Structure 1
Amino acid sequence: MPTEPGILAFHKRCQDFYPADAVDASIQQQRAWYDALCAEFDAPSPEGLTRSDEIVGGRIPVRRYRPADIATQTQIFYIHGGGFVVGSLQSHDAICAEIAHAAKAELVSVDYRLAPEHVWPAAFDDCFAVLTSLLADGRPLVVVGDSAGGNLAAGMALKAKAEALSGIVGQVLIYPGLGGDLVSGSYQEMAEAPGLSTADVAYYRDVLKAPPENTFAHPLKAPDLSGLPPAYITAAHFDPLRDDAADYAKGLIAAGVNVTYRDEPQMIHAWLRARHMSEGAREGFVHLCRGISGLVGTL
């Protein structure tokens, strides 16, 4: 267990809205709990930032954030977490707004289809459709995702490479789930970690039904990581997904990719939401925004 008072208070506050055994409830109940949790951690919008909701490809909702001060043509594509089961444009609205403001860059978030109503590859296909739409205007793009969104972001970079699509200049993976084995390393050491257990990870994988051999769904299984865009990868120490982030960073570095990696020492899964009540989360968020700023060229 972490010892930082702020992150412990954050975890307690989360449990008041989203119980530890939430995955045992119905999908509708999980979403209701998650929406209430996200609303509890909402934050004021940065001054001057504007939002607009759009539809891509005739069916995929996206939200565009334009900060008051834009210092780059590079865009940020943000893919939210939630185990592929919960989450929406609204659940990560404040996080996206603050990242856009800090990086001085336009940001687009996506409301991809969720499981179990839509299993693999629905979410992946939605995200890739938005990715190709954003790349079509010729502007550089940094792909960012947290948790399940980190999985999708890594998969986007891999598929873009496989299809020889140019324009992705960075990938940012925030406590991503990338297809680790569930029985060793942090999956064993942090099996009962606060905020996310190994059993929870297994549940989300089962609901998604992604083929185990598909490297876009399980980026750690990709045989060749060379030629991928520079990466900023951040992990939570008290998280079963920790080694997924660390092992992917090592693989990218071995393949010659420029990587910045951070293991946030007192953090638990979903620490992004604790950025206004935990010193460690606040520091981690500052470093994250600097990492994104470096990739979009505004640092």
Structure 2
Amino acid sequence: MTDYTKLIDAETWAFIERTSSYYPPDTIDYTIAQQREIYDRMCREFFAGYPAGVSAETTAIAASGRDVAIRIYRMAGQSSEAVVLYFHGGGFILGGLDSHDDVCAELCGRTGYEVVSVDYRLAPEHRHPAAFDDAMAAFEWAIDKYRQPIVLAGDSAGGNIAAAVSHATRGHKRYPAGQLLVYPGLGGDRTRGSYVRHVEAPMLTIRDLDFYKDIRTGGEDRIGDITLSPLADADFANLPPTVIITAECDPLSSDGEAYGERIVAAGGKAFWFEEPGLVHGYLRARHSVGRARASFTRIVGAAAALGQGEWVW
């Protein structure tokens, strides 16, 4: 049994307790509508505002007869040298343009890059591969609109989607300049590593992961589907330069480690860093927890370097 009192510091415990006051650990037992209401309220409570000079425009792109909402963040008076295409977390059933609004605004403000947040369709109303299809449509739109390098980024479920797009676009005439994955779930081996060490981790448990997986697919067996589980791919060559940042106290951490190792083994560039003592969802703690603040600075630096085509790891 992992002793989290020795791994997690007081600041992070305060963040966990604050989160639980808005989003109880048993929230997956509620209806989907109730879960979304609880999650959206929690995100509003943690909203940190926009940095000075950052503005946002909400619009939509056409994709095979449907509209995909996006929000574009820009820094006033500054030309963007790269574009970050961002996919939000939320277990594939929660979140949207508002849930990660301030994160995207800060990513824009601190890199100077345009950031495009994608409001992909959610399960259970829209099962897999709906979210992936929307992400692909957003990437196709981005490469048509922008001449600058495009960095794929996402946290948690969004990290899964970003990686799936990277795998699907390797043969594209304009493939991503890089990918930045923050505590992503990539479909790793649940019999080993962090899945065993952190089965009952604060903020995310194996029971939570099982719920999100089943509801995303409707319980359908999709073993080997790379668009669902990027780690199921047999070929990790020719993927874009990849930075993966995970949390130590998170069952998903080993996914990031395994993903980075496979890219390197295939001759690619990948850097995996596990943030000591942090938990899943710590992006919301970037203003209140020192470790999370330092990690967000690391994330910003990675986005900036990938957008410039620099490999500094």
Q: What's the TM-score bracket when you normalise by the shorter of the two chains? A: over 0.9
Structure 1 contact 103–298 (Cα < 8 Å) conserved: no
Q: Return closer, same or farther for 1:23/1:97 CA change in 2, 3 Å cut-off.
A: same
Match for residue 289 of structure 1 among 300, 304, 312? 300
Name 1:36's counterpart in structure 2: 41
Match for residue 50 of structure 2 among 45, 48, 54? 45
Structure 2 gaps of 5+ residues are: none
In the TM superposition, residue 143 of structure 1 has moved relative to its aligned partner by: 0.3
Structure 1 contact 139–167 (Cα < 8 Å) conserved: no
Distance in 1 (CA, whole Å) between partners of 2:206 and 2:45 is: 26
Q: Which amino acid aligns with 2:18?
A: R
1:132-171 to 2 correspondences below 5 Å: 132-137=140-145, 138-161=147-170, 163-171=171-179
In the TM superposition, residue 167 of structure 1 has moved relative to its aligned partner by: 3.5
Match for residue 19 of structure 1 among 13, 24, 39? 24
In the TM superposition, residue 136 of structure 1 has moved relative to its aligned partner by: 1.4
- For the pair 1:3 / 2:11, whether they are aligned, the reply is no
181-190 or 121-130, larger mean C-alpha shift: 181-190
Name 1:278's counterpart in structure 2: 289
Q: Which amino acid aligns with 1:47?
A: A
Q: Return closer, same or farther for 1:239/1:69 CA change in 2, 3 Å cut-off.
A: farther
In the TM superposition, residue 268 of structure 1 has moved relative to its aligned partner by: 0.2
TM-score w.r.t. length of structure 2: 0.92
211-220 or 231-240, larger mean C-alpha shift: 211-220
Relative contact order (C-alpha < 8 Å, sep 6+): which is higher?
Answer: 1
TM-score w.r.t. length of structure 1: 0.96
Over residues 137-182 of structure 1, what are the superposed CA-to-partner deviations in whole Å (9 max), with x where a residue is unaligned?
3332000010000000000000011x43424100000000000132
Distance in 2 (CA, whole Å) between partners of 1:212 and 1:96 is: 32
Over residues 232-271 of structure 1, what are the superposed CA-to-partner deviations in whole Å (9 max), with x where a residue is unaligned?
1100000000000110011111112212221000100011
Over residues 107-164 of structure 1, what are the superposed CA-to-partner deviations in whole Å (9 max), with x where a residue is unaligned?
1001111001110011110111011100113332000010000000000000011x43
In the TM superposition, residue 6 of structure 1 has moved relative to its aligned partner by: 1.2
Match for residue 267 of structure 1 among 266, 270, 278? 278
SS in 2 for 1:59: strand
Name 2:120's counterpart in structure 1: 112
Cα RMSD between the aligned structures? 1.4
1:39-118 to 2 correspondences below 5 Å: 39-57=44-62, 58-68=66-76, 70-118=78-126
Name 2:250's counterpart in structure 1: 239
Over residues 203-252 of structure 1, what are the superposed CA-to-partner deviations in whole Å (9 max), with x where a residue is unaligned?
10000117222112111111111111001110000000000011001111
Structure 1 gaps of 5+ residues are: none
Q: Which amino acid aligns with 2:278?
A: M
SS in 1 for 2:186: coil
**How many equivalent residue pairs?**
298
In the TM superposition, residue 71 of structure 1 has moved relative to its aligned partner by: 4.9
- For the pair 1:192 / 2:221, whether they are aligned, the reply is no
Q: Which amino acid aligns with 2:10?
A: P
In the TM superposition, residue 298 of structure 1 has moved relative to its aligned partner by: 9.0
- For the pair 1:230 / 2:249, whether they are aligned, the reply is no
Q: Return closer, same or farther for 1:116/1:296 CA change in 2, 3 Å cut-off.
A: same
In the TM superposition, residue 69 of structure 1 has moved relative to its aligned partner by: 5.1
Structure 1 contact 67–104 (Cα < 8 Å) conserved: yes
